[in-house]
Every structure is written in C-alpha cells, then in structure tokens.
Structure 1
Amino acid sequence: MSVVLLLSAFLVVPASPAAAAPYCGLVWGSLDETAGDLWPSPIVNVRTGQHACYDRLVVDVAGDVGGYHVSYGRYLVNPGSGEATALRGGMVLQITVNNPAHDESYNPTYTPADPRELTNVSGYRTFRQVVFAGTYEGYTTIGLGVRARLPFRVFVLDGPGTWSRLVVDVAHRW
C-alpha cells in the first residue's frame, strides 16, 4: 500500500505558474464581438502590423466608427450576394464595419489597388490574407484569413483629430 501511495505522489505534479498563465498575458476569446450602430463617416484605409504576441488589423475612418461585428467562419460571406469566398488560412474572421467606403455623394473613399490583397501579410505569424468584400447598404465587409481559430479582441481608438480607428488584434496562439 505504501508503495502505491509513494508512486502516486510522483505522478501528481502541480502545474507551474508559467504553464497556467495565458499566452503573453492575453485573456481574449474567440466568440463574436458586436457593438454600435450604422454611421455615415467613411472608411479611408485598411492596414496591418505585427506585434510580439499578436497581429493587428486597423481600419481608418474619417470620423466616428459606427460600430462593428466580428466573427469566425470557414468562408467570407460577401455582402449583398451572400456568396461564400475561401481565403488563405484555416479560418476567416469576417469583419463588418458599420461605416461605408464612400462619402455621402457615393464617391468612393477607399479603393484598394487589389481588393483580394489589401496588405502584404506574408511572414505574419497569424494573418494569411486580407480581402475587401465591399460596402453594402452602408456596411463595409473585410475578410481576414487567419492560421486557425485564435483569440481576438476588437476596440475603437479616437484620433488623430476627428478620425477614429477600428482595431482587430488576433493572438499568435492560445
């Protein structure tokens, strides 16, 4: 009996504090994120960047960000048509910004050179492809192909000036 107890004591190893901590201190999830309403301020740019623990997508808006809906799926669902488009990567983050990509006279304010490759994300740890799906009824859709379903966060930053930015960060791992 004492041999069994002694043996079981060696099999139970408490987790170290480092193993129990979240990756880079991030405590994000992967469920849908939604906020705000439709707003007329136009989108003017989309850009990306790399950080130590996550990749970042930024949508620049000439005014206030109306709101957003960000969710995971296997495909990008194109606004209006409902067609499914495959992107590079294991999953797609569909980002709907509650702002148009045109002004009040319907003049385009954001016209990417290549809607299928908004930014070059080769070499990024998480991002695989960034796609502009267009504006439909005032809502703009961007597809973000990512390596896998990973934790993300969404928030709005004010400035510079009267502009604002929608930010989507996707962690490199859980």
Structure 2
Amino acid sequence: MSRRRVGAVALATAIVTPLGATAATSTAAAAPYCGIYWGSLAKTSSSQTRAAITGARSGQHACYDRLVFDLGRGTGKVGYNVRYVSTVRSPSSGLPVPVSGGARIQITVNAPATKRIPASGTLTYSGWRTFRQLKWVTSFEGYTDFGLGVRARLPMRAFVLTGPDGGQRLVVDVAHRW
C-alpha cells in the first residue's frame, strides 16, 4: 500500500472515530425520561361499547400519574378520544368547563355513564407530580366527557384493559416530565 493510501486510511479512521463517539454521546443525552416515547398527540380508538362507566380511580407511579375509568360488562370494546385542548368544552352545549392546571386534557369515553364520576363532579389532586384536577363534563348520547387538568403538556398515553370481572378499563397515563 502506498504512503498516500496509508495516510488517507489513518486520517479517515481519526475522523470517523470521534464522530461516532459524539453520535453515541448525543443519543445517550437524548434518552427519554423513564423510557417513555408516548408523545402528546391525541390518542383515539373509534370502538363503541354498550357497557357503562361505573367509576374512576387514580394512582401515582414512579414515572407517571394514572387515571383509570372502570366500565361494567357489555358488548363491544370501549373507544376513546384523549387529547390536549386549550379549553375543555361540553360537547352538548359547547360551553367552556374550567379545569385547574397548566394544561388540559379532554377525555371522551365512547360509553354512557349512569352517574356523575367523581360523585362531587370534581376531584382535586394535592401533592401529585402531574395531575391537578379531574372534572366531570357530561354524559350525552352514549359518550361521556371529562376534563383532566395537568401540570403542563406532557407525554401521555391511553389504552384499554379487560378486567378479571369481564369489564373493561380505560387507562390514561400522563408522564411526570419529558
């Protein structure tokens, strides 16, 4: 091999190695919080169920706060539309519904509710990392809406689980940070 080729190979190796090291360092620095890749865009499923919402409960996890809507037994799979909005609105009247927090999530469950959830209509979260307030909006024509106030616009996800009782659960998780 000529001296010119050996010099070119050595130069190429010297240039590639630091660039590769820099790329690995950048990737590690950009690693998501708790491995969360959810994003903050709307989460939807157009399914419809005849089961009714029977309750809501919440819990704190190491990386996110969780809200669970319990549904009774019924045919079909529960559908939903979970999205950040500038103002939570009642779909039946279009009027704004005030919800505490730096950001608001409107949750539409494609299922009726036979009672107000929570029973008082509002649940305030004190000392939680992300959740600030859950507010009942309305149950109208087989759809039920809630407003969830959160600290800021953060990654969130929504999915459905089947419970041991045969009922379904709509789960909404909101990360503590990006």
- TM-score norm. by structure 1 comes to 0.82
For 1:115, the aligned partner's letter is G
1:60 CA displacement:
0.2
Answer with 1 or 2: which has the greater Rg.
Answer: 2
Check whether the contact 2:78–2:160 (CA below 8 A) recurs between aligned residues: no
1:39 CA displacement:
1.8
For 1:77, the aligned partner's letter is R
| 2:3 alignment partner in structure 1 | none
Cα distance in 2 between the residues matched to 1:101 and 1:22? 36
Cα distance in 2 between the residues matched to 1:52 and 1:156? 21
Provide the aligned length of Structure 1 versus Structure 2. 156
1:128 CA displacement:
0.5
Cα distance in 2 between the residues matched to 1:16 and 1:129? 37
| 2:101 alignment partner in structure 1 | 89
Q: Deviations over 1:75-107 (max 9, x none)?
A: 2111201111221111111000000002xxxxx
Say yes or no: does 1:113 pair with 2:119.
yes
| 1:63 alignment partner in structure 2 | 73
For 2:122, the aligned partner's letter is R
Matched residue of 2:49: which SS?
coil
For 2:127, the aligned partner's letter is G
Say yes or no: does 1:33 pair with 2:43.
yes
1:74 CA displacement:
1.8
Say yes or no: does 1:162 pair with 2:169.
no
Name which of 64, 70, 73 aligns with 2:85: 73
For 1:70, the aligned partner's letter is V
Cα distance in 2 between the residues matched to 1:121 and 1:18? 34
Matched residue of 1:85: which SS?
coil
Identity %: 52
Check whether the contact 2:106–2:147 (CA below 8 A) recurs between aligned residues: yes
1:70 CA displacement:
0.6
Gaps of 5+ in 2: 1-17
Cα distance in 1 between the residues matched to 2:172 and 2:47? 18
Gaps of 5+ in 1: 1-8, 103-107
Check whether the contact 1:74–1:90 (CA below 8 A) recurs between aligned residues: no
Kindly report which structure 2 residues correspond to 1:3-42, keeping only aligned pairs within 5 A, or say none: 15=25, 18-42=28-52
Change (3 A) 1:112 1:20: closer
What is the aligned-residue RMSD (CA, Å)?
2.0
- TM-score norm. by structure 2 comes to 0.81
